Amino acid sequence: MWGATLRTTALVCGATLLGACAQNYGNRVAATSDSFRAGGIETAIAAHDKAHEGVKPEDLDLLYFLERGELMRLRKDGLKPSTDAWFKATEKIQVWEEDSRSKLTKSAGELGAALLSESFNRYDGQDYEKVMLSTRLAQNHLMAGRWDDARIEIRRMYERETLIASLREKEVQALKDAAEEKGAKDTEVKLKDIKGYPVEIFDDPEVTGLRNAYQSAASHYLAGFVFEALNEPSLATAGYRQAIELRPDVPMLQKGLEGVATSKRVPAGKTDVLFVIESGSMPARETVKITLPVPIGAGVKLLSTSYPVIRPAKDTFIPTSIKVGDASVPAAMVTSLDAMARRALKDEMPGAVARSMVRMVVSGAAQEALQRNGGAFGSLMSLAVGLTSAATESADTRQWRTLPANISLARAVVPSGALPVSFTTPQGSFRQEVKVDGTYALVVLRPLGNSDLSALVSQPGAGLVAAAPAKPEPAKRNARRASTTVASKGAAKGQ
């Protein structure tokens, strides 16, 4: 009797301590995030390295490689280390993919039991993070002129979305059934009934209007654009249509589909450019502690638990147009990663509630048994269990923090060659000169701090160049293969 009780007590205390690393992720990357938001990329990279001092290379987790890939991409000449970091992240995601395929073969009971134990374990990334990893790797390939590799990464994105859809569909009922078997019969607590939880973060129309937490209109439009450039009209049509289905309220998405339908041709000496404007930074995951009534034995105990919360990003600037040369090109926000993060959290909450209820039932039962059967020693042990649970109970705050909050798109056919690109924000005007070549090009723009602008420009791939220059020198040819990553320093308002 006492052996079983003590084992339960040890399990409860141990389980509450397992999440220490996950709970403190926000603190761990605070210096990195602050420097990144201020536009100090080198400082942010140094802070990121310092936060992982002493960690063995084989112990670096998914988030390390996701964040490092993003930081290095914004550094001059950082394309290759960025891609290498994201290849490492892909290896981590592939482990999750194999595990997920295995889960799909399990019975509902086996799957539910596994889900109940998945708290503060290996971080496999949010669903939208997995999809964005493929999207950003595809962009990196385009920056290096590897359009065929971008195509492969886009197909991987499609496969990943299909796996996510299948897995999430099977998990819902399995988790509920498993929780009820463990005595947590009230796992279907509605969010609005959890006193103290800010349910308004889920009521945003941008959140409620999302089909799911992983499909991005920006990603699917990029897919359509790449397939169009590679002269694969049927796949281009599918990509554009998916983007339209995800955001039917954005007219510019329809124009991409119309271009494929009419078999439009890009005039010689001009380039069809897709501009991706990334703004804002992802808000942090935080912890909110909640006290819930939990039925234990013949009575009810008030026990504490914690849930994650994501409050909407404050830096919500969204451009409505950009200036390309002398022309104003309309821009439209097509993907809010901020909203996708909150939708992912909303979808995650039933599982989080089920796991917290099971933990509280086990903890409460252990405390009651100790008090009832252990005398003075049992009362002390019961107090220790309660204090340990209260002190260490905290939500998982891990999240890819260096992603932008919003992604806007603009598209225009412009003269090939160098041209200035600019747009205005509440902080001032950002301006950068970019050089586009070939029939199709991608330009990714991201403001850094209050004055700098990062511009990533794709390089022409095989069969995409409209008119190649005559006999380029070897040094110039090599330079064309490299990423163009530039930042304008101190761009003053009105420049």
Domain that holds residue 141: 2-265+337-399
* DSSP bridge partners of 290: 305
Residue 81 within any structural domain of the chain: yes
CA 418 to chain CA mean position, Å: 33
Q: Is 70 exceeded by the pLDDT of residue 292?
A: no
Residue 154 within any structural domain of the chain: yes
User: What is the rounded CA–CA span in Å between residue 24 and residue 166?
Assistant: 31
pLDDT band for position 50 (cuts 50, 70, 90): very high
Look at phi and psi of residue 463 and say left if phi exceeds 0, alpha if psi is from -120 to 50, else beta: left
Q: Is 90 exceeded by the pLDDT of residue 307?
A: no
Which residues 6+ apart lie within 8 Å of 256 measured at CB? 221, 224, 225, 228, 240, 243, 411
Residue 320 within any structural domain of the chain: no
Residue 236 within any structural domain of the chain: yes
Q: Which residue has the tokens 């084992």?
A: 7
User: What is the rounded CA–CA span in Å between residue 414 and residue 483?
Assistant: 20
Specify the pLDDT at position 392: 47
- Where do the H-state alpha helices sit in 374-487? 375-392, 474-481
User: What is the rounded CA–CA span in Å between residue 481 and residue 69?
Assistant: 19
Residue 162 within any structural domain of the chain: yes
CA 92 to chain CA mean position, Å: 15
Specify the pLDDT at position 305: 81
Share of the chain above pLDDT 70, in %: 73
Q: Which residue has the tokens 């290896």?
A: 91
Specify the pLDDT at position 299: 61
Specify the pLDDT at position 255: 92
Task: Give the number of domains in the chain.
Answer: 1
Evaluate whether 155 touches 470 at the Cβ level (below 8 Å): no
pTM of the model: 0.82
Mean pLDDT for the stretch of residues 149-167: 96
Q: Mean pLDDT check: name the lowest of 277-286, 307-316, 400-409, 434-443.
A: 307-316
User: What is the rounded CA–CA span in Å between residue 367 and residue 9?
Assistant: 8
Nearest in space to 69 (alpha carbons), one of 127, 157, 139: 139
The rounded mean pLDDT for the chain is: 81
Between 112 and 319, the higher pLDDT residue: 319
Residue 122 one-letter amino acid:
R
Greatest mean pLDDT among 16-25, 36-45, 144-153, 301-310 lies in: 144-153
pLDDT band for position 373 (cuts 50, 70, 90): low
We report the CATH number of the domain holding residue 175 as 1.25.40.10
Residue 117 within any structural domain of the chain: yes
pLDDT in tens, 226-276: 999 999 999 999 999 999 999 999 999 999 999 998 888 899 999 999 999
Residue 185 within any structural domain of the chain: yes
Which residues 6+ apart lie within 8 Å of 283 measured at CB? 310, 311, 312, 313, 314, 338, 341, 405
Per DSSP, 199 falls in state G
Residue 383 within any structural domain of the chain: yes
Q: Give, in order, the Cα–Cα distances in Å from 364 to each of 88, 143, 307.
A: 42, 56, 18
